[in-house]
Amino acid sequence: MVQRALSDLAGKTVAVVGGGSGIGEAVAFGAAEQQALVTVLDSNEAAAKAVAARIGGDAASATVDIRDRRAVDDALRAIAATRGSLDVVVCTPSINVRKPILQYTEDEFDRVVGVNLKGSFNVLQAAGSIMTSARRGSIVIFSSIRSQVVEPGQSVYAMTKAGIVQLVRTAAAEFGPFGVRVNAVAPGIVETPLTAPITANTDWQSAYANKSALKRWARAEEMIGPTLFLASDAASYVTGTVLFADGGWTAIDGRFTPPGM
């Protein structure tokens, strides 16, 4: 009963950035099931509205491009004003251009950094401004296993995901005295629209599945638990950390099983 109360989000205002699809959509539904007052934020207006409509009840939606600092600030302040508070902000959006370093264009570099790193910074800064003034709140930003391990073609994406880890740690140090917690979730391989080109390739899909200890891909719904744990009072003394939800990917080598094992 005590643990259930700690993880309860009833009555709390939760903004899910990137809630129009994939992991963000799953988290938005998960928060709503915990009786949170959910606002779905996404650059895709139709997708955000559709998710909010499917959630029903008091769920709302808004359109925001996280690369636009003022737009992010306005969107989160509008939620706080309308709902009366801003208790939890979850930021999930990211893009990836898989290319060797020597083939990367300046435009591609700017696009990936603009969404993944600048966008996450904008959300963190806007949410932090509101929450530190209120002296409470929880922010969860999405990193990745690529913050720790890489493969060819992941240079800029991995750079941004590693940057998010240090950004989260710094924010935790700066916001902590004001009662605001900041953490990151680092997923492994998750079936989402972003990874559709990989899951459509049988060999690629299988290779990734076999790299994890669980020998399978994650469903987007499996990111709900780690995210809402960090968002809730169940993690009241957890800040500045990275929770790897990767099926054991970063824990094992996995390239060869010695004979007799």
Catalytic machinery residues = 157
Element (H, E) at 227: helix 224-231
Contact 42, 63 (CB under 8 A): yes
Q: Which residue has the tokens 């990275």?
A: 242
Say how far apart CA 59 and CA 40 lie, in whole Å. Answer: 8
Say how far apart CA 52 and CA 32 lie, in whole Å. Answer: 10
Say how far apart CA 93 and CA 223 lie, in whole Å. Answer: 14
Say how far apart CA 85 and CA 243 lie, in whole Å. Answer: 26
Q: How many CA atoms lie within 13 A of 67 on its CB side?
A: 10
The DSSP line for 6-69 is HH--TT-EEEEETTTSHHHHHHHHHHHHTT-EEEEEES-HHHHHHHHHHH-TT-EEEE--TT-H
Rounded alpha-carbon distances, angstroms, from residue 204 to 67, 94, 100, 109, 220: 31, 21, 18, 24, 19
| Continuous H helices in 62-201 | 69-83, 106-113, 120-134, 155-175, 196-199
> What is the three-class DSSP state of 180?
strand
